[in-house]
A = this chain, B = another copy of it.
Amino acid sequence: MSTNSLKEFMNTYKPQIEEELVRLVEQIQTPASLKDSMKYSLEAGGKRIRPILILATISSYGKNPIKGLNVACAIEMLHTYSLIHDDLPAMDDDDLRRGKPTNHKVFGEAFAILAGDALLTKSFHLIATDHSLDQSQRLEILSSLGESSGAEGMVGGQLADLEGEQKDLTLEELESIHHRKTGRLLAFSVVAGAIIANAPARDIKLLEEYAYHIGIAFQIQDDILDVEGSEDVIGKPVGSDESKVKSTYPRLLGMNGAKEKLHYHLQEALRYVNGVEADVTLLKELAELIANRTH
């Protein structure tokens, strides 16, 4: 299994996603200051893992990934709104994100809140008006996005995370929080790709399991990098979680235990995705990328 194909895939589609994100914001009729705030965070970089997961899933079924471009932009907008709101002083109070000042540090809190609200709203609007998809595909994707990102999913996970910050969490509680906060949007991404590709229902279940495990792996690696990484590479103060006495995988399992757990979830992800009746090379490489990333 070479990593050439994933690298090539990302080199092809990441710039297209990033151009389209900017284009979509540019064409909104709204004060320039709001567009600037929205674009600032959309352009702040990142791996674009969620949109790439959508396009890679479509590609696994031999379909043209570009059919998922709008939904890919929608999920990146939604993810970006969540970062903007999470960084606010009342929430995680972060000054830096990917090595750049956070949105509210540049545009002020009011604009950061509104830019987040606008991105969240645009995300649903973009899918509802994507005429390259069937009506039933759009509604299925919207329904899945609503569940994954709302009170039952990401927003609920963020709240549980805030509530759990000063508590000792069990491994089960920690996983449940991370699954809602991160895992469910990753799962949404592969499910949306599968819906766009008209994948069979059986595959969707397997892909959800795959996404569940890469979501946990993603978070464990995040915790490990927070201890081991250098501030220069990961773009936020190292040990920032440690200083808040927050429950993390290395804290609960020790560094070796956390690394074993990461390996386990990577293997589980690969096991599930191997059951999918499609060419899942890219999805397997994505799982390895997530587990082995250095930032």
- Give the interface of A toward B (CB within 8 A): 28-31, 33-35, 38, 81, 85, 88, 90-91, 108-111, 113-114, 116-118, 120-122, 124-126, 128-129, 135-136, 138-139, 142-143, 145-147, 149-152, 155-156, 158-160, 162-163
- For A28, give its contact among B88, B125, B152 (CB under 8 Å): B152
Distance (whole angstroms) from the CB of A124 to the closest CB of chain B: 4
The 7 closest A-B pairs by CB, nearest first: A125-B146, A90-B109, A121-B150, A128-B142, A30-B156, A118-B151, A30-B151
> Given the known A-B contacts A142-B142, A151-B122, A159-B34, are A88 and B113 also in contact in the complex, defined by CB atoms under 8 Å?
yes
| CB-defined contacts of A33 to chain B, threshold 8 Å | 159, 163
The SS class assigned to the A binding surface is helix
Please state if A129 and B143 are interface contacts (CB–CB under 8 Å). Answer: yes
> Which chain B residue lies CB-closest to A164?
B31
The distance in angstroms between the C-alpha atoms of A163 and B110, with both chains bound, is 10
Cβ distance A142 to chain B, nearest Cβ, rounded Å: 4
B156 and A31 contact, CB distance less than 8 A: yes
Q: Which of B88, B122, B124, B158 contacts A142 (CB 8 A)?
A: B124
User: Chain B nearest CB: distance from A89 CB in Å?
Assistant: 8
Chain B hits for A162, CB < 8 A: 110
User: What is the CB-to-nearest-CB distance from A86 to chain B, in angstroms, rounded to a whole number?
Assistant: 9
Cα distance A108–B163 in the bound complex, in angstroms: 12
Minimum C-beta distance from A155 to chain B (A): 5
Chain B residues positioned under 8 Å from A138 (CB to CB) = 139
A118 nearest in chain B by CB position: B151
Chain B nearest CB, measured from A215 CB (Å): 18
Contact between A159 and B124, CB atoms less than 8 A apart:
no
- A85 CA to B139 CA, complexed, in Å: 27
A31 with B159: CB separation less than 8 A: yes
B125 touching A147, Cβ below 8 Å: yes
What residues on B are CB-neighbors of A150 within 8 Å?
A: 28, 117-118, 121-122, 125
Give the one of A110, A116, A152 with max B CB within 10 A: A110
Residues of B close to A136: CB separation below 8 A: 135
Q: Please give 10 more A-B residue pairs, beta carbons under 8 A apart, in addition to A29-B152, A31-B159.
A: A30-B151, A33-B159, A34-B155, A117-B120, A120-B120, A120-B121, A122-B146, A124-B124, A126-B146, A135-B139
Most chain B CB within a 10 A radius of its CB, from A28, A109, A118, A121: A121
Q: How far is the CA of A121 from the CA of B120 in the complex (A)?
A: 8
- Contact, CB under 8 Å: A143 / B128: yes
A91 in complex: contacting residue of B113, B118, B152, CB < 8 Å: B113
Instruction: Give the docked Cα–Cα distance between A33 and B163 (Å).
Output: 9
Contact A113/B90 with A118-B151, A163-B31 known, Cβ cut-off 8 Å: yes
